[in-house]
Amino acid sequence: MPETRLVVDLDAVAENYRRLCRLAPGTTIACVVKADAYGLGAAAVAPVLWSAGCRTFFTAKLDEALALRGCLPLATVHVLEGPGEGEAETFLAHDLQPVLNQPGEVERWADLARRLGHRLPAGLQLETGLCRMGLAAADLDALRPAWLAALEIRLVMSHLACADEPDHPLNEQQRTRFLALAARLPAAPLSLANSSGLFLGPAYALDLARPGAALYGINPTPGRANPMLPVVTVVAPVLRVLRVDAAGSVGYGATHPVAPGMRIATIGLGYADGLPRAAGNAATAGIAHRTVPLVGRVSMDLTTLDVTGLPEDAVQVGTPVTLFAGPDGLDACAVAAGTIGYELLTRLGRRFRRVYNGTGHA
C-alpha cells in the first residue's frame, strides 16, 4: 500500500520565484522561509530558491536563521525578530542581519558595533499601521545619533496590513507613512511588499520585496485567478471502503447522515496531521479523477469521504486520494475550513512523509 505523503513540487517553487521576479523587474525578490518555509521544509526549499537566483532570505527566528545558514553559507539572511538579550553575538558569529524593531534592539546592536570598533549591518523596521513590530515616529525621535552611526543600514522595511485587499485605503496610507518615516533615516534600500503587496503594483514593489506565501502556491490575489503554480498536495491511499447497510451517520458527533447503499472511503490522516477538524462536511478531495466531499467530522487520524457516486471498481483499498489538488486546492480547503491557506499550510504536521518532486531547475 502506498504511504500517505505530503508532496512538494520544487520545480513549482522555483517557477513561482521566477514569476515574481518577472512581475517586478528591478526589484530584488527576497524569499521568506520562516516557519520552516511555511512548513514545507526550508532545508529542501531554500537551496532551490538559491539555485533559481535568490540571494536574500528572511526568517522570523534566530534558530531558523542558524539552520538556514547551514544550507546556504553565502546568502544574505535577515531575521525579522531582532536580537534579544544575549543574542547579538550569535547573530554576528553567523553573519545574520537582524531586523531592528524597537529602540532597545537598535541600542543592543549598536553597542556590539561600538565594542567591535566597526559598523554592523542591520535592517530597520518602521511601524506604519500594523501596530505590531517596528519603530514608530516617536521611537525614531528617541534613537541616539550615535546608535544610528554604529549601524550600516542595509534595509528599511515595513509590513502591510491589508495587502490582499487592493482597494483598502490602509495600503496607500501605509505606503505614504513609510516613505515619510524612511526619509528621516540614512538612505537605504526600501521594502514594503509581501506576496500580495507585489501585486499592488510598482509603487509598492520598491527596492526589495519579501514574498513567502506566493512562492508556496497560496493565491496572493484572493478573488482573482491564482497567478502562482500550486506546490503542495497530500496523497493518501484509501484504507477501507464501507458499504452502508442501514440508515445512520458517519463519524464523531453523528454530524452527517448516511443511507443504505452509500459507500464511505476512509483515509489515514486527520487533524493530528494538520487537516483542520472544520474541513469535515465542508472540504473536498480528489479521487479517480472526481471530486468527492469530506463527510462527517475529521478525526485525529482518519477522514471519511462519500464515494457513492463513483464506480465501485474505481475506489478500492489503496486507491490514492488527493487533497489540495489544482490551482486553488489549498486555498479552497482553507476557506471551507474557515481559515486561510497560510494557516493550513504551516500546520501540515511532521507526521507526513515528505516527498520532494523536481529539482527547481528550469
**Binding interface with ligand PLP (CB under 6 A):** 32, 34, 80, 159, 194-195, 210-214
Q: Which three cell numbers stand for residue 199?
A: 501585486
Would you list the DSSP string of 127-185?
-SSS-SSSB-HHHHHHS-HHHHHTEEEEEEE---SSTT-TT-HHHHHHHHHHHHHHTTS
Tell me how far apart the alpha carbons of residues 7 and 31 are, in angstroms, rounded to a whole number. 21
Residues in CB range of 25: below 8 A, 6 or more apart: none
How near is the Cβ of 212 to ligand PLP at its closest, in Å?
3
How near is the Cβ of 115 to ligand PLP at its closest, in Å?
29
Tell me how far apart the alpha carbons of residues 25 and 104 are, in angstroms, rounded to a whole number. 36
Tell me how far apart the alpha carbons of residues 134 and 86 are, in angstroms, rounded to a whole number. 20
For residue 34, indicate whether it is catalytic: yes
Smaller CB separation from ligand PLP, 40 or 213: 213
Residue by residue, what is the 3-state secondary structure of 190-234? EECCCHHHHCCCHHHHCCEECCCHHHHCCCCCCCCCCCCCCCEEE
**Among the options 17, 34, 271, 356, which is catalytic?**
34
Tell me how far apart the alpha carbons of residues 76 and 95 are, in angstroms, rounded to a whole number. 8
How near is the Cβ of 191 to ligand PLP at its closest, in Å?
8
Smaller CB separation from ligand PLP, 30 or 143: 30
Smaller CB separation from ligand PLP, 38 or 109: 38
Give the CA radius of gyration of the chain. Answer: 24
Q: Which three cell numbers stand for residue 34?
A: 520562516
How near is the Cβ of 47 to ligand PLP at its closest, in Å?
19
Would you list the DSSP string of 47-95?
HHHHHTT--EEEESSHHHHHHHHHH-TTSEEEESS---TTTHHHHHHTT
Tell me how far apart the alpha carbons of residues 164 and 212 are, in angstroms, rounded to a whole number. 13
Smaller CB separation from ligand PLP, 79 or 151: 79
Residue 288: helix, strand or coil by DSSP? coil
How near is the Cβ of 220 to ligand PLP at its closest, in Å?
7
For residue 45, give the DSSP letter.
H
Smaller CB separation from ligand PLP, 44 or 130: 130
Tell me how far apart the alpha carbons of residues 286 and 293 are, in angstroms, rounded to a whole number. 9
How near is the Cβ of 102 to ligand PLP at its closest, in Å?
15
Smaller CB separation from ligand PLP, 214 or 236: 214
Q: Which three cell numbers stand for residue 328?
A: 486553488
For residue 254, give the DSSP letter.
G
For residue 61, indicate whether it is catalytic: no
How near is the Cβ of 193 to ligand PLP at its closest, in Å?
8
Smaller CB separation from ligand PLP, 228 or 238: 228
Q: Which residues are catalytic?
A: 34, 252
